[in-house]
Amino acid sequence: MNKPGRKFGHLVSKETRRKIGLATLGRKVALKTKKKMSQIAKQKDFRKRLPIMYGDNHPNWKGGITPIYTKIKNTIEYKEWRRTVFIKDNYTCQICGERGGILQADHKKSQSIFPELRCHINNGRTLCVPCHYFVTWGKEIGDSQWGRRKSSLAIR
């Protein structure tokens, strides 16, 4: 598939080539710039040295922490687990009793410590976001945080 603005394997007609040639004629590149360009191009592994903006070269790279949780949360197994937990608890927060709010499925036993319990239905309980935050971090969720989360979270 061709990227927009690029034509791979595209034959340029003689007429077009003539036009391009004419257009380029008037362009003057300073000698200094030309020298610099050729020097850089001659450097060994010039192409390999081009910055690649992904992975640990990317300024936002956090060392690969996100993919694991994203991967888990995207599995059918996990989604099914979460749905079953909600149904089991009748979409009601198991701490404050709020029903039908923005709910999350909480692992009673941490899934990072007990990975084998990740999809055990008895290891799951339904919590609303503030309660989930409280049991996870041991403090109340801040109003500003909660407001932001409210708008970005929805039951899926």
> Which lies closer to Zn ion via its Cβ, residue 75 or residue 145?
145
The residue ranges that bind Zn ion (CB under 5 A) are 93, 95-96, 98, 128, 131
> Which lies closer to Zn ion via its Cβ, residue 118 or residue 132?
132
**Min separation Cβ 89 and Zn ion, Å:** 11
Side-chain half-sphere exposure of 71, counting CA atoms within 13 A: 5
Alpha-carbon distance 74 to 115, whole Å?
16
**Min separation Cβ 103 and Zn ion, Å:** 8
Contact yes or no for 122/137 (Cβ under 8 A): no
**Min separation Cβ 95 and Zn ion, Å:** 5
CA 10 to centroid of chain Cα atoms: 35
> Which lies closer to Zn ion via its Cβ, residue 87 or residue 96?
96
- Cβ partners under 8 Å of residue 115, min gap 6: none
Query: CB 70: neighbour CB atoms within 10 A?
Result: 9
**Min separation Cβ 91 and Zn ion, Å:** 12
> Which lies closer to Zn ion via its Cβ, residue 119 or residue 131?
131
* Residue type, position 38, single letter: S
